[in-house]
């Protein structure tokens, strides 16, 4: 589908500088733009590319004034970042939506499937499962007994949802997500072996949650593991049994959360952060990448390092330990001088 500069400017309440009939059919970065693509300039350090890009149209802020000749057509808008988001959402909405139930899918006669659903090849929907209206379930998924999936949710290939788990409305579960596998619970025995502790709870995922590829959310030992509304988890994240994650918290890839830990709302967690079991992290906290938390964190705090320190303490400590090699060399020199003084 093609759009002219004039059409895009109308949608974004922008102003065309250049050819109003220039057309685009895709979106690209400004440094990799090709003919027929729409690019955008949000970071001033990329301004150099606006003079060489082959993109047919570039979005810029109203305040942008070129320092050299610009060959491409510009559209000046109030907020480039927000306008790009709006365009991507509109473009996504125009993409064809899959519907229909494959003859190769296995749907138990006791399952309920709402109107307008898509269920792909080799997907299994077990007894008493409830699939809401307009849900999309791609091939090779497993929906266990008594699972509930809210309307409008999209489930990509290879997702497994174990029995009794609940997924809310308008969620996105990317390929390989596993919801409701047993929590990691074992009791040591006198003979050195381990007895498996039954995991009898479930997982509850509220509305508008997105889980990245191969992320795993374990079922609770009792009660529920809960991912509250609006949470966004990246790929390869492990959520242990009985964990609770507050609304609108965001986590980057490879985070690991041990059992029964509670993380508040509106938190930002960097990649490869590890949370010990049975700790509580407050609301509006920020945790730096590769931090390791073994203690509670109050509301609004920032943590870095392993074990994690408060933000100011970490940066003060880093200012010291980054200089430890030079400090060690100076210390050895001082020791040598002291030896000579003592000899005299």
pLDDT digits (tens, 9 = 90+) for 291-322: 999 999 999 999 998 877 777 777 777 777 77
Give the sign of the dihedral formed by CA 186, CA 166, CA 286, CA 81.
positive
Q: Is 143 exposed, middle or buried (0-12, 13-18, 19+ CB in 10 A)?
A: buried
Q: Is the pLDDT of residue 7 over 90?
A: yes
Per DSSP, 297 falls in state: B
> What pLDDT does 88 receive?
82
Lay out the sheet containing 15-17: strands in order across: 15-17, 73-77, 57-61, 37-40, 26-27
pLDDT in tens, 134-187: 999 999 999 999 999 999 999 999 999 999 999 999 999 999 999 999 999 999
Q: Point out the least confidently predicted range of 82-91, 114-123, 229-238.
A: 82-91
pLDDT in tens, 223-263: 999 999 999 999 999 999 999 999 999 999 999 999 999 99
The two three-digit tokens of residue 232, written as one number = 């966004």
DSSP string, 177-241: -EEEEPP--EEE-TTS-EEEPP---EEEE-TT-EE-TT-EEEPPSSSEEEE-TT-EE-SS-EE-T
Residues classed as catalytic: 241
> What pLDDT does 314 receive?
75
Q: Pairing state of beta strands 309-310 and 302-304?
A: antiparallel
End-to-end CA distance of the chain: give it in Å, rounded: 89
Question: Which homologous superfamily does the CATH classification assign to the domain defined by 3-94?
Answer: MurE/MurF, N-terminal domain (3.40.1390.10)
> What pLDDT does 95 receive?
77
Which residues fall within 8 angstroms of residue 259, CB to CB, at 6 or more apart? Answer: 183, 184, 185, 218, 221, 240, 241, 242, 243, 277, 278
SS3 41: coil
* CATH tag, 100-315: 2.160.10.10
Q: Is the pLDDT of residue 93 over 80?
A: no
- Mean pLDDT over residues 32-48, rounded? 92
Q: How far apart are CA 129 and CA 127, in angstroms?
A: 6
pLDDT in tens, 56-73: 999 999 999 999 999 999
Annotated domain spans of the chain: 3-94, 100-315
> What pLDDT does 305 receive?
85
- Quickly tell me which residue has 């889980």 as its tokens: 211
The two three-digit tokens of residue 97, written as one number = 């939506």
């Amino acid at each position: 589908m093609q759009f002219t500069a004039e059409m895009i400017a109308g949608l974004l309440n922008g102003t065309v500088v250049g050819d109003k009939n220039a057309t685009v059919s895709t979106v690209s970065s400004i440094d990799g733009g090709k003919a027929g693509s729409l690019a955008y300039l949000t970071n001033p350090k990329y301004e150099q590319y606006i003079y060489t890009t082959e993109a047919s149209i570039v979005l810029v802020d109203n305040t942008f004034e070129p320092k050299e000749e610009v060959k491409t057509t510009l559209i000046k808008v109030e907020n480039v970042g927000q306008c790009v988001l709006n365009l991507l959402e509109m473009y996504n909405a125009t993409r064809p939506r899959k519907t229909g139930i494959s003859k190769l899918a296995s749907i138990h006669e006791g399952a309920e499937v709402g109107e307008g659903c898509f269920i792909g090849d080799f997907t299994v929907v077990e007894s008493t499962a409830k699939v809401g209206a307009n849900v999309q379930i791609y091939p090779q998924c497993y929906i266990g007994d008594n699972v509930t999936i809210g309307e409008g949710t999209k489930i990509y290939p290879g997702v497994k949802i174990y029995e009794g788990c609940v997924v809310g409305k308008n969620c996105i579960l990317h390929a390989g997500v596993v919801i409701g596998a047993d929590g990691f619970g074992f009791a040591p025995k006198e003979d050195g072996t381990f007895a498996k502790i039954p995991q009898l709870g479930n997982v509850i995922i509220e509305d508008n949650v997105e889980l990245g590829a191969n992320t795993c959310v374990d079922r609770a030992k009792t009660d529920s593991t809960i991912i509250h509304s609006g949470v966004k988890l990246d790929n390869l994240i492990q959520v242990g049994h009985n964990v609770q994650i507050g609304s609108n918290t965001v986590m980057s890839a490879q985070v690991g959360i041990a059992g029964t830990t509670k993380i508040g709302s509106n938190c930002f967690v960097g990649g490869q952060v590890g949370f010990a079991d049975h700790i509580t992290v407050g609301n509006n906290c920020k945790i730096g990448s590769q931090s390791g938390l073994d203690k509670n964190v109050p509301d609004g705090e920032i943590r870095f390092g392993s074990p994690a320190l408060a933000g100011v303490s970490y940066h003060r400590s880093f200012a010291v330990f980054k200089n430890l090699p030079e400090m060690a060399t100076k210390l050895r020199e001082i020791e040598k001088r002291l030896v000579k003084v003592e000899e005299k």
